């Protein structure tokens, strides 16, 4: 269920949040107005008054720590994507030592990077967003690189194998890190805390005049914006705020343009 939420467009997450929290706020206020007389409404508002700051503080602290943590996680995964591009460039340069096999290694590396972009950033490459394609490209790249080391000196072979190992190791790390998302119970607690805050503010406005009603849309906007931001940055490869593939795309373009070769 959560995976589906993370894959929704950002505008839809905001729209659904506004719909949910506005409906709850209006329902809470409408129910209180229909079921309680003036005296009881005043007592309800008096009870809600000390609870509202407590719920606001709890929601603010939880959201702040969680957003900071998820932003750091997003930055760490982006760093891995950049490291993968750097390792691919290293392998492309190392392949120049294997003159007879350079073209094949670099061609397979370009195909591998294309598969990475297609799998991780679907929609940029329509030729197939399947893990099987990436697995085939990985095997082909490894076979070409390892086969080319037979005719190289020990330092040259070590550089090729080291670069190849860096590419595959970083890929595994990136997949593992990008698959981590918020636990469902934790996200549910955040949503319930936000709902409690909105309900308390709705009750607090009872008998306070029409101007006080503007507190309700204001607090709804703040809560929905915070939760939408959190959902947006939680899934680095699926959410509205995704990793940037620019570094990997740059290396792939340079490979196809033949820039990784020694000057004659």
Give the tens place of pLDDT for each residue, 147-193: 888 878 888 899 999 999 999 999 999 988 988 888 888 999 999 99
Q: What angle (nearest 5°) sits at the alpha carbon of residue 117, between those of residues 253 and 15?
A: 125
Report the percent of the chain where pLDDT is more than 70: 89
Please state, in angstroms and rounded to a whole number, the distance separating the CA atoms of residues 180 and 241.
15
pLDDT at 52 over 90: no
Burial class (CB in 10 A: 0-12, 13-18, 19+), 184: exposed
**Would you state the pLDDT for residue 24?**
92
pLDDT in tens, 132-152: 888 899 999 999 888 888 878
Contact 20, 228 (CB under 8 A): no
Can you read off the two tokens belonging to residue 82? 């950049």
**Would you state the pLDDT for residue 263?**
42
Element (H, E) at 116: helix 102-120
**Mean pLDDT of the residues in the chain:** 85
pLDDT at 106 over 60: yes
Query: For the whole model, what pTM was predicted?
Result: 0.81
pLDDT at 232 over 50: yes
Would you list the domain boundaries of the chain?
2-256
Contact 207, 44 (CB under 8 A): no
**Would you state the pLDDT for residue 134?**
87
Q: DSSP letter string over 195-233?
A: HHHHHHHHHHTTTS-SGGGGHHHHHHHHHHHHHHHHHHH
**Would you state the pLDDT for residue 241?**
85
Please state, in angstroms and rounded to a whole number, the distance separating the CA atoms of residues 158 and 182.
40
**Would you state the pLDDT for residue 39?**
67
DSSP 8-state class, residue 98: S
The band of 210, judged by pLDDT with boundaries at 50, 70 and 90, is: low
């Amino acid at each position: 269920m959560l995976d589906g939420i993370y894959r929704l467009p950002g505008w839809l997450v905001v729209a659904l949040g506004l719909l949910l929290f506005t409906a709850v706020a209006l329902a809470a206020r409408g129910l209180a107005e229909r079921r309680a007389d003036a005296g009881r409404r005043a007592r309800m508002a008096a009870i809600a008054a000390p609870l509202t700051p407590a719920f606001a503080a709890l929601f603010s602290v939880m959201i702040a720590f969680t957003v900071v943590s998820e932003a750091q996680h997003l930055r760490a995964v982006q760093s891995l994507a950049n490291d993968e591009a750097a390792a691919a460039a290293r392998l492309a340069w190392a392949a120049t030592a294997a003159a007879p096999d350079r073209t094949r290694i670099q061609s397979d590396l370009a195909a591998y990077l294309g598969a990475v972009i297609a799998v991780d950033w679907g929609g940029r490459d329509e030729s197939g967003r399947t893990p099987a394609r990436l697995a085939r490209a990985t095997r082909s790249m490894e076979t070409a690189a390892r086969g080319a080391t037979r005719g190289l000196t020990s330092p040259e072979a070590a550089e090729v194998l080291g670069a190849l190992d860096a590419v595959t190791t970083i890929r595994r790390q990136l997949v593992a890190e990008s698959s981590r998302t918020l636990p469902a119970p934790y996200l549910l607690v955040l949503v319930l805390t936000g709902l409690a805050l909105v309900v308390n503010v709705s009750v607090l406005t009872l008998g306070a005049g029409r101007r006080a009603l503007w507190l309700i849309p204001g607090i709804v906007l703040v809560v929905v914006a915070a939760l939408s931001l959190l959902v947006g940055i939680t899934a680095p490869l699926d959410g509205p705020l995704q990793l940037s593939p620019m570094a990997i795309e740059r290396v792939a373009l340079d490979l196809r343009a033949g820039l990784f070769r020694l000057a004659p």
